[in-house]
Chains A and B, each alone.
Chain A
Amino acid sequence: MATSSERSPPPFPDSEDQDVLDPEDVGGRDSDEEDGEDLFLSPSDPPLADLDTPLPPANQPIEVLMTPPSDIMSDLLIEPISCQAEIQSASQVVTEPSDDFVDLTNNLTEEAADNVAAAAQDTAIISLDEPSDDFVDLLGSETEALQEEAVVVVDVPADTATDKSEGMGSDTDPPGEGKEEVEKVEEVEEASTAAVFDLIGDSGGESDSNTQQSPGIDTFVDPLVDLLSDTPPAAEAQKPSMATIDLFNEDEGSDLFSDPLLTMSARQPQKSLFGETDEDLFGEPLGATSKKTINKEQKDKTVTIKAAAVGGGINITGPLQEINPAEAGDLFTEEAVATAPSVSSTSTVNSKTNGVHSEEETDIFAEATVELSLDSPRSERKKEVMAKPSAPAPSLSATASLAKPQSAALEEMDEEEEEEQEDQFEIFVSVKDPEKIGDGMTAYMAYKLSTQTTLPMFRTKTFTVRRRFSDFLGLYEKLSEKHGPNGYIVPPPPEKSILGMTKMKVGKDDSSSADFVERRRGALERYVQRVVNHPSLLQDPDVREFLEREELPRAVSTQALSGAGFLKMINKATDAVSKMTIKMNESDVWFEDKLQEVESADQQFRKLHALVESLVVHRKELSLNTASFAKSAAMLGSAEDNTALSRALSQLAEVEDKMEQLHQDQASNDTFSFAELIADFIRLLGAVRGSFDHRIKAWQRWQDGQAMLQKKRETEAKLLWANKPDKLQLAKEEIAEWEAKVTQYEREFDRVSATVRKEVIRFEKEKAKNFKRQIIKYLESLLQSQQQLIKYWDAFLPEAKAIA
């Protein structure tokens, strides 16, 4: 493409100098640094490609839906090579498309502001030179306005664009003007597109608003794609075709998710957003963020533009439909967003909403991926797409209004679905996408924490945050500090693993490292789920903050929990507890028994854990051995002379290969169903013992208080005996104080005891429930793998029998 873009320019500079563009214009572009030049060169082809396609749609949108789309795509891709020829053909077509532009722009501007449309009508008769002048102006103003007045910039291109297309239309309409004339028109066309490119390239974030405004001119739509690849700082002509492909790839994913929600959030809170948030929102896309992110946003936007173009009657739906039906569906919903603002408000507002828009988009995208079930919305969208072509009036307002109810219906669908899911649980937290951040020894793993809930205490039903491992530990620290002394069993997080982490940091991508990450992810998920399942802990503000808040203050001093130290700490604590129990003359048999039980359960779980781990080791070994047997069976098969036997042996090798996978799955199933579950409970038992410990501490305090009270009373008696009334008063006060304290301590102890009791009972309930659920899951997978095995054997049996 780079070469072809170099080849294509010659005609343009020439004609440009001769008749179309003033030096000013050129200067203006130059002032845009290299961008301008490149933009002018490379995008010069794609617009022509577009000229072909929009031609019929203006009048017969429905037909076009099916056919031209592919043209657009193919043209965009092929153009670079055949650009010269394209120019010829395009120039012949130029007249009609420009008519279309008039319509489109009229439609658009009518919606936006009537007088703009009028102006467009007026300028329709203006000669060829004038548009280019306008254009120059535009460029000038735009470069000045760059950062400050996005609004103006937005307005201007839209107007000039309409002007220009009008102008072209009028110029080329008179037949027999000659080929040169047509070429000029083409030049203008190019210039205008280039201008808009410049504009976009320069204004960065503004391009969002800009492009929003210009959808009427479909020419701009696709060039933008090219532009996007060209605008990045390195101002070399890149491959537009590549860019387009990228664009589509990216959009497919992101828009798919974001749009349904986007329409909802962007459209409804529109007015308030204008009022409140326009500063931040607008500021961010403008200059605050880096260029790269802006570019990304732009890419997203281009689809929006296309959607708007669809509304404008150009019906680019076709190509998109071909690329991805679901995406086409998006366009409609997206369009609703894009058009609604333009209908209701001026361009200023428009640009602002765009800012909002882009912000929302990223957020929603992140959230939507979490749990939106794709199937039905997609089919819904498909329906929409189907319904779309039959829409008789391709006018902007009509389609916009059509799209709106549909997207609204879509929203409702989504919501209903979510509710259905959520009926089963009040809150569900998932930990996903472990991601290594950073390099070397400072690297850490970040996890995506997604929450789905129907609980009214949360502002939204679903939200997602990113947390690193130490945040999880930090949460535990806070919770155990606050709730531990009260006798609550705070679910402990997985230990820090120096070995696993170091492996991860070193960047070893072996299976053990992946295994470690997956194990930890699962453990974290279960940990958080346990926390939120606890009715008291869920109410804790720290938990809510942990689930909801975007940025969490960095957890410190989690180092103390690192690795084996954590386990040791628990062990020490329990040792201390058992020692203390000897000292403490337990009044409550229940606690005595429970402690015994917990101790023995801990022993047993540890034993079970070791056994399961060894089972897993054997399973893995089996998988390895099966694999090597499969290999030697394959070798034997290939060495075998007898063809039937050889065939059977190769089949056998395949079967064994599949079985290897089965064994491997079974190994991880063992790991994640039992080993991890048991490990969890070993940790939890530690926490249970911790709660016992806290109860004893409370008891100790009470006893100490009593001893103190006793002492005070003795002093009082002494004082009474020594007859010192002045000090006696003080002593009496102290006794009263300590009496109160002792009662308070006693009450506290009783409270802690009651809580511990309740918690232990709850823990046991949970334990039984958890185990049962996990075992059912395990058995299901076991059964499934057994059935898979049967299938494999069934398939192999005829092969064995076929040996003659």
Chain B
Amino acid sequence: IRFDAYAINTILLLFLQRVLLLVASDVDALCACKILQALFQCDHVQYTLVPVSGWQELETAFLEHKDQFKYFVLINCGANVDLLEILQPEEDAFFFVCDSHRPINVVNVYNETQIKLLVKPDDDLDVPAYDDIFRDEDEEEEESEAESDGSEPSDKRRRFEEVFECFYSSFRREILFDYEQYEYHGTSSAMVMFDLAWIMSKDLNDMLWWAIVGLTDQWVQDKITQMKYVTDIGILQRHVSRHNHRNEDEENSLSIDCMRIAFEYDLRLALYQHWSLYESLCNTSYTSANLKLWSVQGQKRLHEFLADMGLPLKQVKQKFNSMDISLKENLREMIEESASKFGMKDLRVQTFSIHFGFKNKFLASDIVYATASLMESIEKEGPETTNFIKALDSLSRGNLDKLHQGLDLAKKQLRAIQQTVASCICTNLVISQGPFLYCSLMEGTPDVKLFSKPVSLCLLSKYLLKSFVCSTKNKRCKLLPLIMAAPMDVEQGTVIMVGIPPETESSDKKNFFGRAFEKAAESTNSRTLHNHFDMSIIELKTEDRSKFLDALISLLS
């Protein structure tokens, strides 16, 4: 079934002459890409990198390059649709797919000749058995095989329902339906790629850091369960101690260009070490939602919280770097203690930090925010791939300036998100549609352009839903998923729409909106574009929106 990720090295690195690398626009993909690039570099594999932001670009990139390449590596794209069907490749084209999107399309799973899936062996794919989904064709074949043997006709024959082609196909449909109805994410592609490097004994500390950032991206984007996150952190922690223990004894010998990764049990306050503690508290979804900072009451609560910690407002509003050293000692413990009094028991998380030389220290989440912001920067500078390249570069340790640029953008983004969340809540823009909550951003809303980008819109949706759940008293509403829409392209009259699963503590992070969107579009003939690698993100003609939503409501109620 699954491609043994670990046999791939031979195939990938020894036989491949030239490789086309198709990389999706998310931080995990970038990290996986960095690792693979480093592997390619040390084996002198020639490759061409093409960023792809959606199915269209993937298809176009494939069409443009299919004559020059036989080997295609897809990172964080391609697993969840029938690749052979959408790309129609020649028989001698091979696809290595490293993609965290689940469920993996069954044809991709069972086609071993052209499609090689890079999946960690312990990732449970729950794929339906081959016989159950492809059986009807098989039986036909077996039947005709028996016939072509020229064997005698059977003396008795039972009539199966397949004569009407309803039973099997409906059985098969059911199984496939069960398998395909929820979207979710598997192990981070960067981690899979790092595993590959490790198996090949070519893993470097840099690669390990990218794996960490990839995993952290999944966590920041809320793509995986807490359990999965903690498990994977554990796996990476073992690698971290393997790679970094030597330095601990000789900390004094750290040179300027040396890097060191360390496990941290740190605050989940976004970018706080590069911001002011106050700003970070205000713009972190966890604190802002729990303290209900959009209200006057909330602001009061924030000040009480700070007072409880004994942190003077003046200090807290300073850049974190400039805060009194004395205050910073035991800061984490202090904050944690007070936070739990205010109902925030999970203010600290297991994560990793990186030190570049003496001066520069970053948490993994810092890098995620910075890189993601660079990738979706709306400051126009040249072609669209510029953002991708910038984001990719910011992951190299030699590019601190790009990273800092990203951090600045990230702060802007977080502020924008927070302000939008506040205004949506205060103006009651989140409305219950019955089976789901719905919020639509109007054209002209501040920062609305930022939210035409998928990652930013998803972050906004998640923050908004968290805040909404904290703000509403309606118990039923607390359990609902959210659909969010934002203007996409005014000239073409389209909106971008994303659906996210309910915000519950035990959430399995599984998302059924992908299928629901498809069905609703189909039944209403809405002009939708299912271009994003996450099926739960679509584009839609603005004028079709109401009939589309009506169909969704009746479909889901």
- Our verdict on whether A and B bind, yes or no, reads no
Residues of A participating in the B interface, judged by any CB pair closer than 8 Å: none
Binding site for A on B (CB under 8 A): none
